[in-house]
């Protein structure tokens, strides 16, 4: 009986429309479908490509409904984050309300809106239409708690070199370890407002979810005294990558006919021999930084798979490969504009992940037991990097020089440390342990699984 009731509860999920936020919400939607709920992803029309890219590893049973962010035909050439945000809020809340009204009438009537914590206005829309509003934090507990402390003016950052911050449940943090927007707030006021603003109405949310898991951030969750307390449901990755696998996979081909060359290329490489390099879905690296990475990969001599994303229109000049690099390294490595990252990390040929430490990439690396070279750029990445190096001990951290560039020698040293010798072996052991703990959290009866079951029960009761 319980099964049948929960099957009919319908949940809407609203991500902030960028890849790193669409992926976890979409994957979480699939997890809810797996627990018997009906789930619909709600996203701006313009996000179609990002959804297509994300859903490769997702189940197909999540529906999608489109709303408008005011830019259905693409972003304007004079795009600014601030202007986009204002339009998204105005047009998005209107079209989201219209959608809920239509579903309330035509069915299946939604019981709840799970919204990205950046989109605080979505809570008002949910409550205005009589459904539950559940906020979903896509960043780590540590980072969320730092932002929350800043929001409440409990943490005030002094930009003095050598300053150290002792915060509840967190390792001692230097300025470089803090999320970048609270350290370099000049020119970043909009992003800072957005990040701290997540907490302005969080206490009114009916539920707070977080894409992390208890054992990963146990000290933070035990020692912080935030007025909001999240249910950790992560990592919201597809279960096929987490539970029931005995060995890291080799490719079985891509049933959607995309990007198969990168996995079959990995198939031909020895176990643990490939350095996988990716800076996520947004970053565009400078010419200088690209040259340093290219030389480090070349001289490390290890096979490499490097994602060099085609820059957005406003990032012209970024992510340019040095001239002649592809020709000179075609036997050593492969450069792709995008790859199915989870499949790559799950592949037994991959021995090291050079990552910018986006929270999704961090969780994905941990979940697949791949040791990392942390090369953080900005936002929450420096704090994630600190945890990778200092708390979970699954990677080394590549230091930037005075010009904020990671030099060839430094990156090569880090790659060697992860790929070779006793230190590498120790990092692999730790990474393997974290992979086990990730699996434990999401498996039947694990902490994240239990928190999801509790949410499903709440939603099902509300539905009655």
Q: List contacts with ligand UDP (CB under 6 A).
A: 19-20, 23, 278, 280-282, 307, 338-342, 358-361, 364
E strands in 93-141: 110-116, 132-137
- Return the number of the residue (126 or 146) whose C-beta is nearest ligand UDP: 146
Contacts of 39 (CB under 8 A, 6+ apart): 10, 11, 12, 13, 29, 30, 32, 33, 61, 62, 63
User: Is 116 part of the annotated catalytic residue set?
Assistant: yes
Assigned token pair, 41 = 């992803």
Check if the beta carbon of residue 233 is closer than 8 Å to that of residue 211: yes
Shortest Å, Cβ 212 to ligand UDP: 13
How many whole angstroms separate alpha carbon 427 and alpha carbon 256? 35
Could you give the CA distance from residue 412 to residue 368 in angstroms, rounded to a whole number?
23
Work out how close the CB of 50 gets to ligand UDP at its nearest, in angstroms, rounded to a whole number.
9
CA–CA distances in Å: residue 2 to residues 8, 411, 460: 11, 54, 9
Nearer to ligand UDP, 132 or 236 (CB): 236
For residues 435 and 463, which CB has a smaller minimum distance to ligand UDP in the complex?
Answer: 435
Cα 338 from chain centroid?
16
Q: How far is the CB of 278 from ligand UDP (least distance, A)?
A: 5
Adjacent-strand bridge partners of 42: 65
The single-letter DSSP state of residue 387 is I
Minimum CB distance to ligand UDP smaller for 341 or for 460 = 341
We find the least distance from the C-beta atom of residue 364 to ligand UDP, in angstroms, to be 5
Task: Give the list of residues 6+ apart from residue 244 with CB closer than 8 angstroms, or none.
Answer: none
344 and 263 in contact (C-beta within 8 Å)?
yes
d(CA 256, CA 262): 14
Question: Measured from the CB atom, is 23 or 148 closer to ligand UDP?
Answer: 23
Closest CA to 347 of 253, 239, 237, 213: 253
Check: CB of residue 10 under 8 Å from CB of residue 37.
Answer: yes
Nearer to ligand UDP by Cβ, of 359 and 392: the residue is: 359
Looking up tokens 């603003």 gives: 197
Asked if the peptide bond before residue 425 counts as cis, ω within 30 degrees of 0, the response is no
Looking at the Cβ atoms of 89 and 258, the one nearer to ligand UDP is 258
Residues facing 10 on adjacent strands: 38, 110
- Smallest gap from Cβ 211 to ligand UDP, in A, equals 10
The tokens 């319980």 sit on which residue? 2
Q: Which is nearer to ligand UDP, 145 or 341 (CB)?
A: 341
Catalytic residue among 116, 177, 343, 449: 116
Q: Closest separation between CB of residue 341 and ligand UDP, Å?
A: 3
- Asked if residues 440 and 214 have their Cβ atoms less than 8 Å apart, the reply is no
Residues contacting 23, CB < 8 A, separation 6+: 54, 360
Rounded least distance, CB 299 to ligand UDP, Å: 24
The minimum distance between CB 53 and ligand UDP, in angstroms, equals 7
Find the catalytic residue in 21, 347, 356, 463. Answer: 21
The DSSP symbol for 185 reads -
**Residues classed as catalytic:** 21, 116
């Amino acid at each position: 009986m319980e099964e049948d009731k929960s099957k009919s509860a319908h949940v809407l999920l609203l991500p902030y429309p960028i890849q790193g936020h669409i992926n976890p919400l979409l994957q979480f939607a699939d997890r809810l479908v797996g627990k018997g709920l009906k789930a619909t992803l709600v996203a701006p029309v313009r996000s179609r490509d990002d959804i297509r890219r994300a859903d490769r590893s997702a189940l197909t049973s999540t529906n999608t409904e489109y709303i408008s962010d005011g830019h259905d035909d693409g972003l304007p050439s004079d795009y600014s984050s601030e202007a986009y945000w204002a339009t998204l809020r105005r047009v998005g809340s209107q079209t989201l309300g219209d959608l809920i009204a239509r579903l309330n009438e035509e069915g299946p009537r939604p019981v709840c809106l799970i919204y990205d914590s950046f989109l605080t206005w979505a809570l008002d829309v949910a409550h205005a239409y009589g459904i539950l509003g559940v906020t979903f934090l896509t960043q780590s507990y540590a980072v969320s708690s730092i932002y929350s402390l800043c929001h409440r003016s409990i943490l005030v950052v002094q930009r003095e070199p050598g300053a150290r911050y002792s915060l509840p449940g967190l390792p001692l943090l230097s300025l470089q370890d803090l999320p970048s927007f609270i350290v370099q707030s000049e020119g970043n006021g909009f992003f800072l407002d957005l990040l701290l603003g997540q907490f302005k109405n969080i206490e009114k949310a009916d539920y707070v979810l977080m894409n992390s898991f208890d054992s990963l951030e146990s000290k933070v969750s035990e020692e912080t005294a935030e007025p909001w307390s999240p249910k950790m449901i992560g990592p919201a990755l597809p279960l096929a990558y987490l539970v029931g696998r005995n060995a890291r996979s080799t490719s079985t081909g891509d049933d959607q006919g995309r990007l198969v060359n990168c996995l079959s290329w990995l198939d031909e490489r020895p176990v643990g021999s490939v350095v996988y390099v990716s800076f996520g879905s947004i970053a565009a690296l400078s010419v200088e930084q690209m040259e340093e990475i290219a030389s480090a990969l070349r001289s490390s001599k290890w096979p490499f798979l490097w994602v060099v994303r085609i820059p957005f229109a406003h990032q012209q000049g970024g992510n340019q490969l040095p001239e002649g690099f592809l020709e000179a390294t075609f036997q050593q490595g492969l450069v792709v504009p995008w790859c199915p990252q989870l499949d790559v990390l799950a592949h037994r040929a991959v021995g090291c992940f050079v990552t910018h430490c986006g929270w999704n990439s961090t969780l994905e690396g941990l979940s697949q037991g791949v040791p990392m070279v942390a090369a953080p750029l900005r936002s929450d990445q420096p704090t994630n990097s600190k945890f990778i190096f200092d708390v979970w001990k699954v990677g080394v951290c590549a230091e930037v020089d005075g010009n904020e560039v990671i030099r060839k020698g430094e990156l090569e040293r880090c790659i060697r440390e992860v790929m070779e010798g006793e230190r590498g072996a120790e990092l692999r052991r730790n990474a393997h342990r974290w992979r086990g703990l990730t699996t434990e959290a999401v498996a039947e009866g694990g902490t994240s699984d239990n928190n999801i079951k509790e949410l499903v029960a709440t939603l099902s009761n509300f539905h009655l």
